[in-house]
Structure 1
């Protein structure tokens, strides 16, 4: 899929001046249906990326506002969210052809401070120079993304998730 340009400056302005988008999702007050929820439990949930740089990108986050990967989560809570990351990654790899799947936590106190992990499947055949950080950077463009595409991918991921233990 070819990427389209992404206005990074507008994005930075929005995330630094708007309330936490993950907390808004949990409260049912978020403004985008592109972030289809594909899995959730009492503590954590997984949803499609609103601005995917790779097809099949999913975010996993705790429902409570937490900001630090280790400091804000007791070990048992950390292990539970990582179990969801593992399960969702297995579903993504079952649905989306991938050479490698990147799993990382991004964000900072300056923007997107709510703790979350990105699951990003790298398609086969991407030239090495366009892999890794290059593949993840919005500065290099994002995929054109529509609500029907998001709903279809979310349905496929939910179907696979329902078969995983």
Structure 2
């Protein structure tokens, strides 16, 4: 069964896509820790990041770096935090989280509930960083 991320990749469900290339895609998390929380996902469905082919893993991280640099250019924060947890969705994904404090990347705290308009505005802002 396809993961929710594969459904986003295949455009079966909507998402605020920030960037994509032939192997990877980045989109806003719809239940973010903070505004601007982005997920970076390989298009190839793999459950565990350390099961990825070395080249694909390197490409994923280089793609995440490009997205993080665009976020740095457009979101007011101290830096972009990175987390790979892999328990929520059985499809590799890297969390890029704009940080002002350490608590901004605390996954046990309640998630934000943003409107589709707010998400679209945030996505448009980040896209300007490319």
User: Structure 2 residue aligned with 1:142, among 90, 99, 111?
Assistant: 111
TM-score by length of structure 2 reads 0.89
Q: CA deviation at 1:28?
A: 1.8
Q: CA deviation at 1:19?
A: 5.2
The alignment covers a number of residue pairs equal to 130
Supply the RMSD in Å over aligned alpha carbons: 1.9
**Separation in structure 2 between the aligned mates of residue 24 and residue 65 of structure 1, nearest angstrom:** 11
Q: Provide the secondary structure at the position in 2 that maps to 1:70.
A: helix
* Contact kept? 1:45, 1:60, Cα under 8 Å: yes
> Equivalent residue for 1:7?
none
Alignment of 1:1-165 (within 5 A): 20-30=3-13, 33=14, 35-72=15-52, 74-108=53-87, 111-123=88-100, 126=101, 131-132=102-103, 135-137=105-107, 139-161=108-130
Unaligned runs of 5+ in 1: 1-17
* Contact kept? 2:24, 2:43, Cα under 8 Å: yes
TM-score by length of structure 1 reads 0.71
Q: Which runs of 4+ in 1 moved over 4 A?
A: none
